[in-house]
Amino acid sequence: MIAVIVVTVFLSMIIGAYVVNPLYNAQNAPPPKTGALTMIITSDNWYNNTSGYQAAFFVVENGHIESSSMITVAAHTLLEITIINYDKATDPLLVNNDANVTGTVGDVVYEYNNSLVNASGAGVISPRGEFALTSVPASKISHTFTTNTGLNIPIYPSSTEVAYAYFNTTGLYTWACMCDCGPVAMDHSGWMFGDIQVVSQ
């Protein structure tokens, strides 16, 4: 008898959870999962006596600076990508189309450096300190963050940029800067290219 009561109570709890608990209500869709990918580009990284200083991407992970040779991101996640570029130099693009922002939410990148935006001819200071850009003038590009999943973010010199993007297919992909920004940096994983691993959440 007690066992019957226990089983009945248990079953009603399970059924009740589905009927009453709003978490099981299809109309209450869960908010999108969010994540962050923060990267720093510096220009004065000593390589050797022959090649001297080279530019490189680094990843900030839990407050630590790490190599960009293997970047891990979660699939099906609204990823806030922040790129802080300390490099003052511009570099020629390898492919002209890479001046356009692609693969981000709204195909825009938010530029947080007003002086550079003004210098490029935009001419207006945003009261929020940011501009949504769909491209960067080819002559004003320092590096790009480009993946073979279709993401392309051109980066101004001495700038901070933020973009939002989703990676929706798990697997191993490649990222690279698509500028001619130094033969050693362009040839070495963790400097101007590397892997990007999309893992399930």
Residue 151 in contact with Cu ion, rule: CB under 5 A: no
The mark string for 102-141 relative to Cu ion (x by CB under 5 A, - otherwise) is ----------------------------------------
Nearer to Cu ion, 74 or 83 (CB): 83
Shortest spacing between CB 130 and Cu ion, in angstroms = 23
CA proximity to 43, closest of 83, 84, 89, 82: 89
Task: Assign 62 to helix, strand or coil.
Answer: coil
What are the DSSP calls for 79-113, one per residue? EEEEEEE-------BSSGGGGB-BSSGGG-EEE--
Residue 192 in contact with Cu ion, rule: CB under 5 A: yes
User: The tokens of 111 are what?
Assistant: 């530029």
Shortest spacing between CB 196 and Cu ion, in angstroms = 16
Measure Cα distances from 136 to 78, 87, 109, 185 in Å: 23, 16, 10, 22
Nearer to Cu ion, 66 or 180 (CB): 180
The mark string for 153-182 relative to Cu ion (x by CB under 5 A, - otherwise) is ------------------------x-x-x-
Residue 143 in contact with Cu ion, rule: CB under 5 A: yes
Shortest spacing between CB 193 and Cu ion, in angstroms = 9
Q: How far is CA 101 from the centre of its chain?
A: 12
Shortest spacing between CB 39 and Cu ion, in angstroms = 12
Residue 59 in contact with Cu ion, rule: CB under 5 A: no
Stretch near Cu ion under the rule CB under 5 A, chosen from 6-14, 116-124, 156-164, 188-196: 188-196
Shortest spacing between CB 152 and Cu ion, in angstroms = 13
Residues in contact with Cu ion, counted by CB under 5 A, come to a total of 5
d(CA 16, CA 32): 26
Nearer to Cu ion, 77 or 152 (CB): 152
CA proximity to 76, closest of 38, 37, 42, 35: 35
Q: In 141-151, which positions are buried (b, 16+ CB within 10 angstroms) versus exposed (e)?
A: bbbbbbbebeb
- Chain residues in the site for Cu ion (CB under 5 A): 143, 177, 179, 181, 192
